[in-house]
Structure 1
Amino acid sequence: MKRILGTTPLTTGLTTGALLAALVLPGTAARADDAAPRVDLRVLVVTDGGPATDAIAAELDAAGTPYTEIDLTRADRPVIDAGYLADTVDGRNRAKFQAVVLPNDNPFPVNSPEMTALAQYERTFDIPQVDAYTYARPEAGLQYPIYGGYSGSVDGTLAQVTSAGRSGPFGYLDGAVPFEDNSASVGESYAYLSTPAAGADFTPYVDAAIPGTTKRGSLVGEYRHDGRRELVVTFVYNQYQQQFRLLARGIVAWMTGGVHLGASRNYFAVHVDDVLAADDRWNSTLNCTPGDVDCTDPHATPDPIRMTSADVDHAVAWQDTRGFTLDLAYNAAGSVDFREDNNGADPLADRLVATRDEFRWINHTYTHAFLGCEQDTTVVPWRCATLPDGSVKWVSRQAVSDEIALNRVWGQTAGLPLADDELVTGEHSGLRVLPQQSADNPHLGPALADNGITWLASDNSREPGQRQVGPATTVPRYPMNVFYNAGRAAEQVDEYNWIYTSRAQGGSGICEDNPATTTCLPAPLDPATGYAQHIVPLERQIALGHVLANDPKPHFIHQSNLAEDRIAYPVLDGVLDGYDALFAANTPVVNLRMKAIGQELRQRAAWRAAVQGGLITAYRVGGTVTIEGPGGLAVPATAPEGTLRAGSAFGESYAGVRSGWTSLTGAALTLALPSAAVPATGTGGSAPAPVSAPAPAPAPAARVPGGVADAVPPGSGG
C-alpha cells in the first residue's frame, strides 16, 4: 500500500456489523448531536494501477489535498471494511474519508464484502464516489453504448460542459473541453458515449456528440441511486492530457462538495532575461553562435541582437492589451557599454526607464558574467580551470558580490521597482552545472548573504526542486524553446533543425545521440513556415500544460525574442488565447513575481511535510470546519463562497470558490460554511443493500476498466 500525503494506517478491531450497529442503529448511547458526524478531510483513492486513478491522485497531490491510496494489486494491502472506513472519536461518529475514488464503479470480485462496506459507508455518511473510468452500463446509470451510443476514439473531439455542469462543479470553465489529437498514428483518448439508462437519476456534466446521431452522450455525469452519489467518468485519460487538466478541478470540487484541504490556481509568469544587454545571433552557416565559448571557427564574428525603444513600446502595448506583466531581468552593463560606444546615447535604456513601472524588474547581475568556476575555453566543451594542486579555481566571493551590487545600484539609481532580494545569475551560473561543474561555487552563498538575496533563480530542466543556497531558496524556471540567439523566425527554425534532425538530414545528430530526452523530427522544418506551424503550437501546448497543472514556476525567454521579428509573442499569445477560450472570467491566470512564486513553492513543501508527518488534523462537523496543526504553519484550504473565518470572508475568490493560505496561530483554524453548504443531518441506519457485481466478461485491449464487459449480458433490456 502506498500512502501519498498520508499518515498511519486506519484500523479498528470492530467487525463490519458491529461497527455499523455502533454508528448508525437506533438506540445507540451517543451524544445528542450525533446527527452531525465528524467527517475527516481526507480522500480514499483505491487504484488498480490504471492511469485514471493515478491522474486524480496527482491532482490531489499537487493541490495539497490529503489522501490515502490503496493498491488493489498488492497482497499486503488493508482490507476495506467498516472498521477501516469509520469509528468514533470523543463519542462522535467519524467518517475517516470525505470521498472515495474507485478505478470504476465496482472494481471488486462478485459479491465482494469490500464493495458492500463501501456502499453502506457512502449511504451512512453521504460520502460521494468517483468512478475514475468506467464502462457505460445501467449499473453506472447509463445505457449500453450499443443502444445508440458510441465506443471508440474521441481524439480531437470538442466536448462541452452542460448547463448543469456550468451551474455545478465545472462552473469555472467557459464551456468547451477539447480532447487532444497530437498524432494521427497514435490513439490518445478512448471513450464510451451514452445516454442515461431508463429511469436512472443521471445528470450529465460534460458531454459530446454521438457520431452518426443527433444525440449527445455523457462523458462525465452524476448518478444518484440507492442513497448514494457517483461521478461517472466514461473516458480514459492520464494526468498530462489537457482534457483531464481542464476537468480535474471540477472532479475534486464534486467529490469534496467544494470543502477540502489544499488549493490550486492557474499560474503563468514570464521572465525576459538579458534586458539592456545584447544576445549573440545564431550563425546558420557555421551552425554555432559566435561569441559563445563553443563557437571556435576563426571566421565566427558576433552579430548582436538588442531590443530597440520601439520594441519597448510594443511590449507595453502588448501587456496593456493582455492584462499581463512581464518580468525583466536586466544587465546594466549592457547600457553602460552601449553609451560608451554611442556618444552617451542609449534610446533603449531611456525608454525602459521611462516605462519602468509597466514591468517587474529582477537583478540579472551587472555583466552577465559566469559566476561558477573559472572556465577553461581552450577545449570544447569547456572545463573548469584548476589550481596547481588540482583543485577547482572558483570565481571569487568579491567578484560575485560585485556583479550583484553594481547591478542593483544601477537599478536603484534608475528608479526601477526592484525586489532587492531576488536574483537571476547569468546562465544560472554559480549553481552546479553538469558535467563540468558538479558543485555550487562555494563563494556563491556568502556573496548572496552579503547582498541580502533570499530568492535565486535556477533552471528547472536541471533542478526541478527547490533547495537552499546560503540564505537563498531557489526558484526553478522553465526554459521555453524559443532560443536566446534568435531574433528572427528563420533563425529559430534553422537552429531548431540543427538540434532536432538526424545527421543524414543535415542536422547535428543531437537527437540521435540522446533518444531518452530528445525526439528527432521526421524531416527538417520549412524555414518559411516551420516556426508558426510547428514550433509555436508545440511551445504553446507545453506552456499551457504547466498553467493548467497548478504549477507556479515561471518560464523564461530572452530580450532577443522581443526584438526584430518579436518571435516570443506568438507563443505567449497562444498560451493566453488558448486559456481565455477555455476558462470563465472567475478563473483568471495568476501572474506572480519571482519571490511570491518562491514563497508558494516553499509553503507547499512545508505543508506536505506536515501532512506526511501526521501533524495535521482536519474535519468537518455540520457547517464548521476545524483544522489543527503546528503553530505558524501556513494551511491551504478551499471552501464555498460565503465561508467565514472569525466573521470575515475566508481566503480569496477563485474559480467560483474561496481558497488560499492561512497561518495557524496556535489555536485551531475554524471556518464557518454558508448554510447552503451544510449537509442534511442524519446518519442513516438502513441495512446494507446488495451491490451489483461487475459483468464477468473480459475487457478487450484494456479499453474497458478491469472487471466490466464490452458486451451486453444476455437478456439485458434496450
Structure 2
Amino acid sequence: MGRRTRRAAALAAAGLLATSLQSLTAHAATPARVDLKVLVVDDGGPATAAIIAELASQGTPYTVVNLQDPSRPTITAAFLSDTVNGTPRAKFEGVVMPNDNPFAAGSAEMTALAAYEAAFGIRQVDAYTYAQPAVGLNWAQNPGYIGSLDGTQGAVTTQGTAGPFGYLKGSVPFEQPDPAVSTSYGYLATPLAQQAAGATFTPLVDAPIPGSTARGSLVGQYDHDGRSEMVITFVYNQYQQQYRLLARGIVDWVTKGVHLGYDRNYFAVQSDDLFMSDDRWDSTLKCTPGDVTCPPGTPETANPIRMTTADEAYAKQWQTDHGFTVDWAYNGGGSEDWKSDHETTTDPLVNQFVADQGSFRFINHTYDHPFLGCVQNVTVVPWQCTTNANGTTQWVSQATISNAIHDNVTWASQKGLQIDPTELITGEHSGLVTLPEQPTDNPYLAPALASNNVKWIASDSSREHNQRAVGSSALTIPRYPMNVFYNAGTAAEETDEYNWIYTSAAQGGSGVCETSGNSTCLSAPLDESTGYSSYIVPLETRIDMGHVLANDPRPHFVHQSNFAEGRIAYPVLESILSTYRNLHNDNTPLVNLKHSDIGGELQRRAAWNTAVTSGQVTAYQVGDSVTVNAPAGVQIQATMPNGTVQQQLIGTSAFGSSYAGSLSGWASRGALQSAVTLKLNGAGTGSNGLSVVATVIKAGTKLGITTPAKALPVPAGVRKAVPAGPGDTSRTKAASLVPGTGKPVPGKAAVKNSRTAKTGKATRPGHK
C-alpha cells in the first residue's frame, strides 16, 4: 500500500469514527446506560482463554466473539451500542482483545471498537501483545528483553498499587515448575519518552530488564485518543500463578470496579478421623496393613497413628498463632475403641478437645467409619462390589447408614461437643459414586441423609468436581485431597510412600505413575530425610495455592494422623499461609469457611451461574445507579466501589463486605421490589457513570488504531499447562486439552482427574 493509499484509508477510518461520535452528541447531556457485560474478542489463544476463565469463575457476564468462527457476528456500531427509551446504551462495559488489534489492516471492526470505546469511555484489555510504539512502549531493545520469563520476579508499581492491583503487597513471581520446559514468554520494554500528543503510558507491573538497570513494563495502562488500554506484554494461561495473582485486578480495571460477580481467595482444611487411629504405611511391605491395599491375610497395623493431648494442645496454639481454624471430622466410635483397647473409661484426648472446643470446628464423620456404599469384596485387589445371585449389587442398608450418622450425633451430645448436625463427611466419601468399582450412589444413602436432616455431605473433588444433589434434601461439597497421606505420621513414612507411588519401576517404585496416565514420575526417588521439606511441601503448596487463587471455596482435606507424631501437616499449612500472606495485603485475607457455609456458597453460585448463562440476568448502570434483574429467588452477586449501598423502597441498606479494596457479596431484592438497585456513593460515583463524550474527532485526526499485531510466540508450557508436579491433576488434565476449547488434543486422551486412580490406593473398610 503506497503513501497516498494509506493516507486515504486513514482518512476514511477517521471519517467513520467521526460519524459514530457525531451520532451521539445529541445525547451529550444525558448519562449513558452501560450494560454490565464484558465483550471478549477471542483468537483461541491461552491468554484470552485465561481471562474468560476468570470472568466465568467470578460469575461476570460476558459475550465471546470467536475470530475463528466464520459465522461469528460482525462488530459494528449497532452491535456495540444503541438507544433505549432515548438514552444511549453501551452494550458492553469493557472489551477484552487478544492483542491491541487482531483485525486486518483498515478493519471497519477495529474502527467501530475504537469509536465505541472513545464515545462511552469503555476500557480495553490487550490480553497479550508485543512492546511497540503503537501501544506506548519502545521496542524491546536497548534496553529491552524478549524471551522466557520463567523465574522472573515481577513487581507491582506504585501506580499499580494505587490502582487495580492494590490487593497485592508488590511481588509477582513467575513460576518455573519444570526447568526443561519454557512456561512463560514476554517482552520487557520502557515507555516511550515522547508519547503522542495527549497520550500517556503508566506501568502497573514491571520487572528488571536483564543486562540493564532499567525496568520493563509487563502490564501498563496506555491512555490515548480518548481510549484506555491495559497493555499486557507476556503470555499466560489460567493456571499460572503470575496470572492468577493479577486476574482479579484485570477484571476490576476493565470494568472500572463495577461488575457482576466477585472473586475471593478461600482456604479451608478439614482433618478426618479425629479420635480414631489411622493405619500406618509399611515401608517394607509397600502397603498399609489393615487396608485393602495389602494382600488378603496381611496382619493389621500393630502400631496405628493417633493424636495425643500434646498434639491437641499444639493444634490449639498453632491455630491461634497462625490465625487459621482447622475443621475436625470426628468419629466417636474411635474413642470408644481406644478406651476398650486401653481398658479405661476415659479418653483424655476427647476431654481436652471438648474443653477447648471454642477453638475448633467439628464435623460428623460417622460413628465408626464404616464403608457405606456397596458391600465390598476385599478378598481381591482392587476391591469389588459384592453381587447377589441375580447379578444385582448388594448395598449397605439404610439402617446401617442412618445409625452411623445418628450414633455419632448422639455421642457428641453426650460428650458436650457442639456440632452442626446438617454437616456430614462419610468415611472415604462412601455411599457416593466411587469409580470404577461403584458407578452409582448407594440408593439407601439419600433417604438416610433426609431422615437425619443432613444437608451438606462431602464428596471427593478428584472424582466429582461439581456440587450435586443427593436425593431431595442434601447437596455435596467437593473436597480436594492433599498429597499428605492418611497413613503417614512422619516425614520419612510420607516420603517412602510418595516414592513408591511416583517413582518408576526401574527406579524401585511401583510404576503406577507410568501406567495410570494420571500423574508424572519422579526422575529419581526423594531422599527420605530431606525429600518431604525440599520437594513435597513446596509442590503441595503450589498445587493448593492454585486452588486458593482461583476463587474456589472447595475445602482441602488431610487426616488426624498428619497432626500426630511428626505433625507433618503443619509444614504444608504454614507454607501455604506464609506464601499467601507474603503476596497479599491485609485487605485481602484468606477466607476460611466452615463446611455448611462452603456448601451454601457453591449452591448460590450454581443458581447465579445458571441464570447468567441462560440469559436471565440483565444489569446496567446509569449515572450512580446500578440496576440488576434476576429470576425470583436468585441472589445477585456483584463487586462495587466502597461506599455502595442497596436502595430499598424506603431508605438504603448495606451492601456486601469489604474485600481487596472493594465491596462485594450477595444481595436479594428488597420488599416490594422487582430488581436489586445499588447506589454508588463517594469515590465510586463516577467509576462508570460516564456521560457520552461530546467531542467529535474530525476527519484527518490521528486515530489510536494500530496495525494488526503479528503472530506472537507462545511456548509449549503455556499452550499446554505444565503440571506443578505429581499430584497436580487439574493441570495434568489441562495439558491434554486444546486451549480455549476444553476438548482433548487430537490423538491424546484426556487425563482422568482421579487421585484414587492415580495412586492406586483403594478405600479402606474402616479403622481399628
Distance 1:96 1:262 in 2: 18
Distance 2:292 2:209 in 1: 59
Q: Equivalent residue for 1:67?
A: 62
Q: Equivalent residue for 2:440?
A: 439
Q: Equivalent residue for 2:234?
A: 235
Residue type at the aligned position of 1:336: E
Instruction: Check conservation: 1:53, 1:132, Cα contact below 8 A.
Output: yes
Residue deviations 1:219-251, cap 9 Å, x none? 111011011000011111111000000011111
Q: Equivalent residue for 1:10?
A: none
Residue type at the aligned position of 1:259: V
Distance 2:20 2:488 in 1: 71
Q: How does 1:327-476 map to 2 (within 5 A)?
A: 327-342=327-342, 343-470=344-471, 471-476=473-478
Q: How does 1:633-652 map to 2 (within 5 A)?
A: 633-646=634-647, 647-652=652-657
Q: Equivalent residue for 1:91?
A: 86
- 2:729 paired with 1:682: no
Residue type at the aligned position of 1:661: W
Residue deviations 1:330-389, cap 9 Å, x none? 000011111122221322111111111211110000000000111112222211112222
Pairwise CA distance, 1:293: 2.1
Greater shift in the superposed pair: 292-301 or 628-637: 292-301
Q: 1:114 to 1:425 in 2, by over 3 A?
A: same
Residue deviations 1:662-707, cap 9 Å, x none? 123452111111243314533335247545442686656779x9xx
Residue type at the aligned position of 1:563: A
Q: 1:260 to 1:385 in 2, by over 3 A?
A: same
TM-score (norm 2): 0.87
Instruction: Check conservation: 1:357, 1:417, Cα contact below 8 A.
Output: no
Distance 1:295 1:682 in 2: 73
Pairwise CA distance, 1:632: 2.0
Pairwise CA distance, 1:297: 5.7
Pairwise CA distance, 1:392: 1.1
Q: 1:361 to 1:613 in 2, by over 3 A?
A: same
Q: Equivalent residue for 1:661?
A: 666
Residue deviations 1:632-667, cap 9 Å, x none? 211110001111213333210000000001123452
Pairwise CA distance, 1:411: 1.1
Distance 2:410 2:715 in 1: 63
- 2:63 paired with 1:53: no
Q: 1:155 to 1:27 in 2, by over 3 A?
A: closer
Pairwise CA distance, 1:414: 2.0
Q: 1:700 to 1:414 in 2, by over 3 A?
A: closer
Distance 2:272 2:116 in 1: 55
Q: 2:494 aligns with which of 482, 492, 509?
A: 492
Secondary structure of 1:279 counterpart: coil
Distance 2:694 2:277 in 1: 71
Q: 1:383 to 1:317 in 2, by over 3 A?
A: same
Q: How does 1:573-652 map to 2 (within 5 A)?
A: 573-646=574-647, 647-652=652-657
Instruction: Check conservation: 2:201, 2:222, Cα contact below 8 A.
Output: yes
Pairwise CA distance, 1:631: 2.0
Distance 1:268 1:700 in 2: 35
Residue type at the aligned position of 1:426: G
Q: Equivalent residue for 2:267?
A: 268
- 2:553 paired with 1:549: no
- 2:115 paired with 1:120: yes
Distance 1:27 1:564 in 2: 74
Instruction: Check conservation: 1:49, 1:71, Cα contact below 8 A.
Output: yes
Residue type at the aligned position of 1:293: V
Distance 1:700 1:444 in 2: 52
Distance 1:506 1:696 in 2: 51
Secondary structure of 1:248 counterpart: helix
Q: Equivalent residue for 2:480?
A: 478
RMSD of the TM alignment (CA)? 2.0
Residue type at the aligned position of 2:546: G
Gaps of 5+ in 1: 1-14, 706-718
Pairwise CA distance, 1:100: 0.4
Distance 2:714 2:645 in 1: 50
Q: 1:27 to 1:382 in 2, by over 3 A?
A: closer
Distance 1:696 1:627 in 2: 37
Distance 1:312 1:493 in 2: 24
Instruction: Check conservation: 2:129, 2:232, Cα contact below 8 A.
Output: yes
Q: 1:171 to 1:79 in 2, by over 3 A?
A: same
Q: Equivalent residue for 2:530?
A: 529
Q: Equivalent residue for 2:214?
A: 215
Q: 1:509 to 1:696 in 2, by over 3 A?
A: closer
Greater shift in the superposed pair: 450-459 or 610-619: 610-619
Greater shift in the superposed pair: 549-558 or 387-396: 387-396
Distance 2:328 2:711 in 1: 58
Residue type at the aligned position of 1:305: I
Secondary structure of 1:427 counterpart: helix
Secondary structure of 1:648 counterpart: strand
Pairwise CA distance, 1:147: 3.1
Distance 2:553 2:448 in 1: 27
Residue type at the aligned position of 2:486: Y
Residue type at the aligned position of 1:178: P
Residue correspondences, number: 686
Residue type at the aligned position of 2:530: T
Distance 2:49 2:292 in 1: 44
Residue type at the aligned position of 2:211: G
Residue type at the aligned position of 1:365: T
Instruction: Check conservation: 2:187, 2:233, Cα contact below 8 A.
Output: yes
Greater shift in the superposed pair: 683-692 or 207-216: 683-692
Distance 2:610 2:710 in 1: 44
Q: 1:694 aligns with which of 703, 707, 713?
A: 707
Gaps of 5+ in 2: 1-12, 719-768
Pairwise CA distance, 1:492: 0.6
Q: 1:700 to 1:158 in 2, by over 3 A?
A: closer
| Percent identity for Structure 1 against Structure 2 | 56
Q: Equivalent residue for 2:514?
A: 512
Q: How does 1:119-158 map to 2 (within 5 A)?
A: 119-158=114-153
Instruction: Check conservation: 1:486, 1:492, Cα contact below 8 A.
Output: yes
Secondary structure of 1:230 counterpart: strand
Pairwise CA distance, 1:22: 8.1
Distance 1:267 1:641 in 2: 21
Q: 1:373 to 1:26 in 2, by over 3 A?
A: closer
Residue deviations 1:545-577, cap 9 Å, x none? 100110000000000000000000000001000
Secondary structure of 1:314 counterpart: helix
Residue deviations 1:194-217, cap 9 Å, x none? 111133311111111111111111
Secondary structure of 1:83 counterpart: helix
TM-score (norm 1): 0.93
Q: 1:376 to 1:625 in 2, by over 3 A?
A: same
Instruction: Check conservation: 2:224, 2:704, Cα contact below 8 A.
Output: no
Higher relative contact order (CA 8 A, sep 6+): 2
Secondary structure of 1:316 counterpart: helix
Residue type at the aligned position of 1:416: L
Distance 2:551 2:314 in 1: 30
Distance 1:621 1:17 in 2: 29
Residue deviations 1:466-506, cap 9 Å, x none? 11112110000000000000001111111111111111111
Distance 1:164 1:701 in 2: 28
Residue deviations 1:397-451, cap 9 Å, x none? 1110000000001112222221110100000000111121111111100100110
Q: 1:298 to 1:631 in 2, by over 3 A?
A: closer
